[in-house]
Amino acid sequence: MRQWYADIPEIRAYNPKLDIEPANVSLSNNLSPTTNFFLNVFINSIEKRNLIIAYPDIILKPIPLICYLYFQTNCKDMLIFTQKDHGSGEANPIDIHNKNYHLLNFGSTYGGKTSHYVEGQYIFYHFPIGIILDNDVKAEVYLPRAKDRKIRAKYIEKQEKNFLDRNKPRIFLSYEEGKLYDHFERLIIDKNINYTTDIRINPSLIIFENVDRLIHSDYSANLFFEWISHLSNNKRVILHFSNPFSKFIPMTQKAINSLVIPIIKDHLELKEASIAYFSQNKGREKWDMLNKYNIDKLNIYKDDVSINIMKPNLIAGNINYHLNQSKKYLRKIEGEKIQNKKILYVLRQLLFDLPNLFINPSKYKVPYGDESRSWRYYAIPEIIRLFKDDILKEKADVRTILKELISELFCLFIELSECKRRNEEKTFSRIGKDYKILEIINEFINYDDNNLIIATRSSHERNLLERELEQYIMNNGLDIKTFNQLNKSVFDREKSTLLLGGPLRLEYMSQLLLPYKNIIFVCYEGINCNLIREQIEFLQLYSHLQDSVSLNYLKELYEFLHIQLDILFKNFVVIRKPEYIETKGIKKILDIPIFKAYREYVQEMKEVDSGIQEIEIGSYKGLENKSDTYYRILIKRIGNDETIEQILPADKTFLYLETEHGNVLEGTPKNIEQNYYIIILDNDVRKSFLELIIDIFGLEESIDKYLIESWRNELFKFIEN
């Protein structure tokens, strides 16, 4: 393969710190083997194929180098969709790329030393960079080493001239998540504003950094693919997935005809070279400068993620007895005989959720509502009393089983709640998870380089835990995230320990493959612990499956670049147990008998989610169908002028615009007049906002989905009144 640094001048990067050596570091042939591999693939393939890069970091650090390399063969604009803030307390990715690009230089010499006084040695002097803010471009010059105002003024003047030159390629950074501008109205440099309307933006390369924030459900993926499909054929796209095991990578590869560069940590030659590279004694300052542009870190090449079950396990008391009794009653229930199926689904959900909580269950509340009562959060004793009343409407045989099931759930609740409490040492002898995590946090306080991430199952649990642990969150590097947040956010995992209270569902399991410093499960002995052990064993097979997926991506990559396959395969380690060689796909692995308990857990949670979702959507549509009045309207599609007829329920609300560029409004069909613009969700007048929200955001907490729609309706009634 042609090397990225072979046919260009030497590329260096300045140290932004003054009076500290080294002042300027060479990047050419001095970056990590994996970074070199990525940049080599880029320059050898981007003219013909789109690229997907899968790497577990919110920031794709080589972006400044990609920009310069692309300009060597294409004098056209580049557009990079990054992020303004990722909530870690560190610098924003958009600012990091902007500053790191400004530090790149050709290493011109002056008196035997590199010097920023030599005009034209900075790369941004030739190819300017700016940040898009609405229709403005903010192109501030970053020159941390320039003390002379005249030098700075000269570069500012050049920056302005380059941006206004129609023949100059420019780099545009944006965090507006897919919003394309064809021109900008103002150029802002050092508070100086140039008003202009004739400068066009026409990027030929578009990069999406941490595209997981845009592609996280089937619905959002299809929307993104639809957007991409409208780009002209002469544009190229690079997508960076910060979750390297995202299920949307193969779907995206097919949709945009791309090559995939996966994590390559098990290729022996590359692994040994990477470990040797990061083990060099270069000095802290030099490493800091090189790692501004390296895509990888040493931690990624560890043989295994450190996943541990806390020992000793927490004493279970009678928890396992009540869980087993509950399962016995669940097997006796015939679902089709139950009138109020929502009761059964909520009971099943609580049986799985309560043992996995980090908070004391006495503080936990369940969102619930139906046709006879308003939606609100109920404490566990409240919901149990409510269910005891509701099952009186069931037939005698069903009522008897449900009564026993509710009784077992209440006993489980008591067993989990009556544990030793903080600052009340004489309350109970047995400790629960809420007490244990305080012990763990206090241990972590003594280590300055440790960050502790606690993962919760719901935003309600997270909020309660945040209030309880407020003093620790503020002072000691503690963060609390829901599983959904954890799956969509990326932070410095190498310095973080992840604390989990129970087994993860399949959609979140890739977190266990990411390079955390440690992963610790806190669990009760027996059923709770056994489920976690099965998941860890399942994970080992899952990781081998990912190895083979990565190998297939690399095979396609090597074939495209005309590299001999035997070089790849003889140095790539794929370890499998003989009995699982023919196993393909997660579902087939789950069918293996040793994973029976975890398989049942996964299936149970999926059935509960689907059941509650079906009931909620059915209830909402039932309300819609009560409309006695309908409007028959003719709608002309924008784009092809096709006219279709639609029947709209009078009581249903729709989004509409009075003019093409007006504000988005909401109202019933009686509010929509001739020549207005109406928005039909997915070309289906029956589709509710609830269904759209579920599709777009891929929500997992089933009951809360209905709360979104319920609050929307209440708010709309309030506004109307």
Which helix (H) or strand (E) element contains residue 548?
helix 527-561
Mean pLDDT score, 495-514: 84
Q: Tell whether the model's pLDDT for residue 86 goes beyond 70.
A: no
Least confidently predicted of 245-254, 598-607, 627-636: 627-636
Q: Tell whether the model's pLDDT for residue 36 goes beyond 80.
A: yes
Q: Which residues of 600-612 are buried (b: 16+ CB within 10 A; e: fewer)?
A: ebbebbeebbebb
Q: Tell whether the model's pLDDT for residue 68 goes beyond 80.
A: yes
326 vs 596 pLDDT, higher one: 326
Confidence band, pLDDT 50/70/90 cuts, at residue 576: very low
Which helix (H) or strand (E) element contains residue 440?
helix 433-444
Share of the chain above pLDDT 90, in %: 35
Residues in the chain: 721
Strands 451-456 and 496-500: parallel
- pLDDT at site 567: 60
- pLDDT at site 150: 85
Q: Tell whether the model's pLDDT for residue 78 goes beyond 90.
A: yes
Q: Tell whether the model's pLDDT for residue 710 goes beyond 70.
A: no
- pLDDT at site 643: 81
**Per-residue pLDDT tens over the stretch 277-294:** 999 999 999 999 999 999
Q: What sections of 203-267 are H helices per DSSP?
A: 218-229, 248-256
CB 504 within 8 A of CB 512: yes
Closest C-alpha to 455, from 484, 422, 420, 421 = 484
422 vs 117 pLDDT, higher one: 422
3-class DSSP state of 455: strand
pTM across the whole model: 0.75
- pLDDT at site 683: 61
Which helix (H) or strand (E) element contains residue 487?
helix 483-488
- Separation of alpha carbons 530 and 543, rounded Å: 20
- pLDDT at site 130: 92
- pLDDT at site 204: 93
Structure tokens at 356: 């996995």
Q: How many CA atoms lie within 13 A of 499 on its CB side?
A: 22
- pLDDT at site 67: 95
Mean pLDDT score, 644-661: 78
- pLDDT at site 689: 56
Mean pLDDT score, 457-478: 80
CB 255 within 8 A of CB 228: yes
Mean pLDDT score, 262-289: 88
- pLDDT at site 700: 46
193 vs 30 pLDDT, higher one: 30
- pLDDT at site 702: 43
Confidence band, pLDDT 50/70/90 cuts, at residue 670: confident
Mean pLDDT score, 667-687: 75
Share of the chain above pLDDT 70, in %: 81
28 vs 693 pLDDT, higher one: 28
Mean pLDDT score, 431-448: 82
Mean pLDDT score, 698-718: 55
Mean pLDDT score, 30-36: 95
94 vs 621 pLDDT, higher one: 94
708 torsion bin: left (phi>0), alpha (psi -120 to 50), beta (else)? alpha
- Separation of alpha carbons 693 and 438, rounded Å: 36
- pLDDT at site 4: 94
DSSP string, 585-599: SHHHHHTSGGGHHHH
Tracing tokens 């806190």 back to the chain, one arrives at: 522
**Per-residue pLDDT tens over the stretch 370-423:** 777 777 889 999 999 999 999 999 999 999 999 999 999 999 999 999 998 877
Q: Tell whether the model's pLDDT for residue 114 goes beyond 90.
A: no
Quick one: CA dihedral 338, 339, 341, 347, positive or negative?
Answer: negative
- pLDDT at site 112: 43
- pLDDT at site 51: 97
Q: How far is CA 318 from CA 92, 523, 534, in A?
A: 49, 14, 22
Q: Tell whether the model's pLDDT for residue 268 goes beyond 70.
A: yes
CB 244 within 8 A of CB 60: no
Confidence band, pLDDT 50/70/90 cuts, at residue 61: very high
Mean pLDDT score, 59-83: 92
Mean pLDDT score, 321-350: 91
Confidence band, pLDDT 50/70/90 cuts, at residue 41: very high
Mean pLDDT score, 465-480: 77
Average pLDDT of the residues of the chain? 82
- Separation of alpha carbons 167 and 164, rounded Å: 9
